[in-house]
Structure 1
C-alpha cells in the first residue's frame, strides 16, 4: 500500500488552502494558518489536523496503525 505524504489542508476560519507534507511517524496536533494566523486543532474524535482539515488522512491512519 502506498502512503500519500501530502495533503491539502483548508482553514475553516478563512478558507485558505495549502498543500503540506505530513509527518510520517507522528500526528500533527497544531497547524497555524499562514493567512489568518489562527491555530487549528483536531476536531473531537480525530487524531490530527490532517484528519480534520486535510484532503488525505495522516500516514498512521492510512496504514491502519491507529492514532499516534
Structure 2
C-alpha cells in the first residue's frame, strides 16, 4: 500500500508568526522562503533539508517519499 504524499503545507514565520498555506515543490527541497508579512527570508534550521521541514505543518515531498538526497 503506497503512502499518500501531501503537497500542501502551512509555513509559520518564526519572526512574526504569519502563516500561509503553500504548495510544495515535488522534485526539490526549497531552501529559501520570504515571509509575505515581514519579508524575513527563512532558511532551514540546522539538520533540516528545507523550510517546509523547519517551519511547515508537513515535511517536504522528498522527505515524505523517503528519497531526500539533501
User: Under TM normalisation by the shorter chain, which class is it?
Assistant: over 0.9
Match in the other structure for 2:60: 58
> What 5-or-longer segments of structure 2 have no aligned partner?
none
When normalised by structure 2's length, the TM-score is: 0.94
> What 5-or-longer segments of structure 1 have no aligned partner?
none
CA distance in structure 2 between the partners assigned to 1:64 and 1:36 by the alignment? 33
Match in the other structure for 1:36: 38
When normalised by structure 1's length, the TM-score is: 0.96
User: Of the two, which has the highest radius of gyration?
Assistant: 2
Aligned length: 68
